[in-house]
Structure 1
Amino acid sequence: MTDSHFPQPARAATVAWLNTILAERLSGQLRLSQPAPGHLLLSLPGSDVGIRIESDYATFSQACSDLPCSHWDATAEGWQTPLRLPLPAPGMDTLPFPLIEQRATGYAIHYDILGLTYWMLSRQEEVGRTDLDRHGRFPAISSHAYKHGYLERPVVDEWLAILAQVVRRAWPGLPLARHSFSTCLSHDVDTPARYGFSSSGRLLRTMAGDVLRRHKLLEALQAPVIWLLSKEKLHARDPFNTFNWIMDVSERLGIISAFYFICGRTQASRDALYDVRHPAIRELMRRIHARGHEIGLHPSYNTYQRPGSIVSEARELFETCREEGIEQSGWGGRMHYLRWQTPGTLYGWEQAGMAYDSTLSYAERPGFRCGTCFEYPAFDPVAGKALHLRIRPLIAMECTVMAPRYMDLGSGEAALNKFIQLKESCRAVNGKFTLLWHNTLLERQQERLLYQSVLLA
């Protein structure tokens, strides 16, 4: 099947969206067009030179993970990959040689770099999938990237780096966009206090757990006092109240932390015990804002298929912040439990007027679910249209690496090496290392040392 079998409006919208991606990543002067089925043309107004890119729309419009995958040795053709490794080429059984061919009118690229970009960034692979985990999430192990061993590589960024090299050779005088590495740090506020916000019965059960499972008798004895004194402000001795410490570390490193709050309850056993309007939460939010950090939304458990619920919870956050005199230039956040459905979840964020979402990573494996560590404009692959919302891919959640239920690397050297490996991959493409670390996983000194080591690496 050729791309001529697909509706022209959908192709036109996709090309327009890809133009936006290329403007952000390479140059706003470049123009992408589809002069004929089977190829795309990257051109520069006023120049007779062009870059012809073979188009495989039929392959990269599939909602499946069964595509073939080959690898390309860029160095054999005089090109350099950011990670200095052979480059995965999803969608291809075998690759022609040369893959990139110089011609009198410019260059021809015999691999659909932009089709791959569309397929990964739009999450076309995930549309309508039924092979989901117990939380209704598309799992890493079902993904093409995991099956073919490139989940921990920013494959889209690597291919766009190759395209940038071709652009430089085609138009040596064209200035290209400059990018620099950064760390983006966020914290989902699922449980702001171990003892505050509990009922008396839950408090007793927590105290029993402190003694029997955690062997922390002193904390159990202090719990009733901490609970009683948490009505207006989080108690300084509550083990989960690590917020000041988090902000201290961020400020020393020149990082702005984002704290995402749950503002609704759609599944009592999975959602937060606190109400965002509680005086202690209001005080915490005022303190975060006063120190120059960000407040965002963490939609409750069952909202990922309910755009209207995301909208109502966003309104709850906005109204509470307005009452506290908290103003921000933009708002974003992340779905609870990383629950996501493509494309439905996009519309909750879009309709709520949020600037960005930072959900897209897998719970059980870290890496590049979208193939990129760069923020980009969202695209609905079903309706074939671009949205105002921006996607900020999550590269690693701390419990994905550390927790026994996932990778089980603990809080020592093995975990640090994994975080550093992911961070260095982002650095290699001058991208953004987006890290999620919950306030509840900074109780122990070893966890704090790991956290600081990751940020300092």
Structure 2
Amino acid sequence: MNTRDAWPTPAITAWLEQILAERFGHAFTLQVAGNGFVRLGMADSSQAIEIASAPELFTRSDSSLPCTSWEASREGWQSALGKPLPAPGAARLPSPLIEPTATGFRMHYDILGLTYWMLARQEEVGRQDLDHHQRFPATSSHAFRHDYLERPVIDEWLQVLGQVIQQLWPALPIRQHHFSMKVSHDVDRPSRYGFCSAARIIRFMAGDVLKRRYFKNAWLAPWVRLGSRDTLHPADPDNTFDWLMDLSEQHGLSSAFYFICGRTDPQRDADYEPEHPAIRELMRRIHARGHEIGLHPSFDTYQKPAAIVAEAQRLRRICAEEGIEQAAWGGRMHYLRWENPTTPRAWEQAGMAYDSTLSYADRPGFRCGTCFEYPAFDPVKGQALKLRIRPLIAMEGTVMEPTYMGLGSGEAALNKFNELKDRCKAVKGCFTLLWHNSLFDTQAERELYRQLLQ
């Protein structure tokens, strides 16, 4: 599909109308105005907001767009973060950016095009500048290059659009959103020693003694291995599941645990099988406490829809055998491997309700420019999908580990997590946090996680 031929296409128009309806709580119509603008109106009103349209920019699959900023307060509008708004795609902007007309307002920046470009991840289609795991990295993105990756830029611009809507239709009640938080845990390793081979146990024990100086863990290893036949051993250092659920329940949250149900890469996938009695018991316990079970497709599935479908079916079958029922199923790709649009189409084929993969492994922030869940869109076929994208804002390893930001588990890491959390609060969105159950080796890591839930 060449979206430049007719922008926005009927499919894109309907998708954008759905996004606006979810954000503002009302049905708006979008029509091409014929003068380089798109008309945002309401069925029972002759008034409208004309929004500039720049399809030549926002149908591009590269990161070389220009970028400037706009000082909302100089024109009497409010910025959610109290800072100038990044304006991707624009080298300069006219003043005033927003001006009244005889029938409403005119906005000289393509908010709708930016929304499409960011949410549909048009930027990532067909990219070859990938990292060693074949992932599109943050450092290649337009947002990182222009220093707005840690800002919910779509939410900021839609908040401005909401102000214009309220000025034009003052009697129209705008939907009020509230800050929320979602925590999830990729179950790469449910047990430190319970499922691995004898050779791997020896390697783990050696690492605990020589590298990590965890002498107690090494001493426990044989007992944990022998005591994990029907349930996870309570002394297993990776068995943090009840502690995680306890914390979530204390703060009115529900944890989501995503299980690996395949083995497409022996070195990077899990060493457990989801049918194991101890894993079945864990799933029953998670479900009984009201928390969520989801899918964590194995390493080499991100380009293989049939494999994702098979692993989703395997998870559902096991849960059905254990009497576990959920209204919806979702999850996240292993190693955050994700290819647009192959991976989201695979999730749709698997009948999954949402995908929470979209954060970068090398930097935290707003890969999609938003902290609100939204309907997925395939920019290649030009079709909306029956799948929701639940953006991931931060993964613990991205912030803490030396491979990436390297902020450790102290005050620097806490400040970075809280900065991102506060930006979600500013736009009344959702702060989604990934923390693996197996990454609580120190008291400092536990305390950092505890503070983030407050």
Q: TM-score scaled to structure 1, two decimals?
A: 0.98
Q: 1:335 aligned to 2:300?
A: no
For residues 106 and 207 of structure 2, the distance between their equivalents in structure 1, rounded to whole angstroms, comes to: 64
| Aligned equivalent of 2:290 | 292
| 1:88 corresponds to | 86
Q: What SS does the aligned partner of 1:439 have?
A: coil
Deviation at 1:28, TM superposition (A): 2.4
Q: Secondary structure at the match of 2:184?
A: strand
Higher alpha-carbon deviation: 213-222 or 398-407: 213-222
Partner of residue 122, structure 1? 120
Name the SS of the counterpart of 1:441 in structure 2.
coil
Between the two proteins, the alignment pairs up a number of residues equal to 454
**SS in structure 2 of the partner of residue 379 of structure 1:** strand
Deviation at 1:35, TM superposition (A): 3.5
Q: Deviations over 1:50-90 (max 9, x none)?
A: 10001001100000000000100101100001000000000
Give 1:125-274 correspondences, 5 Å limit: 125-274=123-272
Deviation at 1:31, TM superposition (A): 1.5
Please say if residues 61 and 125 of structure 2, whose CA atoms lie closer than 8 Å, have aligned partners that are also in contact: yes
Work out the CA distance in 1 between the residues paired with 2:87 and 2:243. 44
Aligned to 2:345: 347
Letter in 2 for 1:72: W
**Residues of 2 paired with 1:213 and 1:364: CA distance?**
24
Q: Deviations over 1:102-144 (max 9, x none)?
A: 1111000000001000000000000000000000000000000
* d(CA) in 2 for partners of 1:311, 1:135: 22
1:316 and 1:5 map into 2 onto residues whose CA distance is 38
Structure 1 residue 277, shift from structure 2 partner: 0.5
Q: Which digits, 9 at most, give the CA deviation of each residue in 1:297-338, with x for residues without a partner?
A: 000001000011000000000000000000000000000000
- Secondary structure of the equivalent of 1:169? helix
Cα displacement string for residues 317-375 of structure 1 (whole angstroms, at most 9, x for unaligned residues): 00000000000000000000000001110111000000000000000100000000000
Determine whether 1:42 maps to 2:53: no
Amino acid corresponding to residue 269 of structure 1 in structure 2:
Q
Counterpart Cα distance in 2 of 1:4 and 1:123: 16
* Shift, 1:4, TM fit: 10
Partner in structure 2 of residue 316 of structure 1: 314
Residue number in structure 1 paired with 2:452: 454
Distance 2:337 2:278 in 1: 27
Matches of 1:93 and 1:82, distance apart in 2: 22
1:394 is matched with: 392
| Partner SS for 2:159 | helix
What is the CA-CA distance between 1:203 and the residue it aligns to?
1.0
- Give the distance between the partners of 1:96 and 1:291, measured in 2 at CA: 55
Find the partner of 1:425 among 423, 426, 430: 423
| Partner in structure 2 of residue 110 of structure 1 | 108
In the other structure, the counterpart of 1:77 is 75
Q: What is the CA-CA distance between 1:34 and the residue it aligns to?
A: 1.8
Alignment-derived partner of residue 275 in structure 1: 273
What is the CA–CA distance in structure 2 between the aligned matches of 1:350 and 1:5, rounded to whole Å? 23
Deviations 1:136-176 (A, max 9, x none): 00000000000000000000000000000000000000111
Q: Which amino acid aligns with 1:436?
A: L
Amino acid at match of 2:397: C
Q: Please say which of residues 198-207 and 13-22 is displaced more in the overlay.
A: 198-207
CA distance in 2, matches of 1:5, 1:63: 12
Answer whether contact 2:4 2:59 (CA < 8 A) is retained.
Answer: no
Identity within the alignment, %: 62
Counterparts of 1:332 and 1:5, CA distance in 2: 30
SS of the aligned residue for 1:286 comes to: helix
* Structure 1 equivalent of residue 12 of structure 2: 14
SS at match of 1:302: helix
C-alpha separation between the residues in 2 aligned to 1:150 and 1:315?
39
Distance 2:4 2:399 in 1: 41
- Paired residue for 2:22? 24
CA contact (8 A) 1:226 1:238 kept: yes
CA–CA distance in structure 2, aligned partners of residues 236 and 291 of structure 1: 18
AA at the equivalent of 1:385: Q
* SS of residue in 2 equivalent to 1:354: coil
TM-score (norm 2): 0.98
Task: Give the RMSD, CA atoms, in angstroms.
Answer: 1.3
Which of 361, 369, 372 is the aligned partner of 2:370?
372
Match of 1:101 in 2: 99
Q: What amino acid does structure 1 have at the position aligned with 2:134?
A: G
Q: Give, in whole Å, the separation in 1 of the partners of 2:188 and 2:394.
A: 17
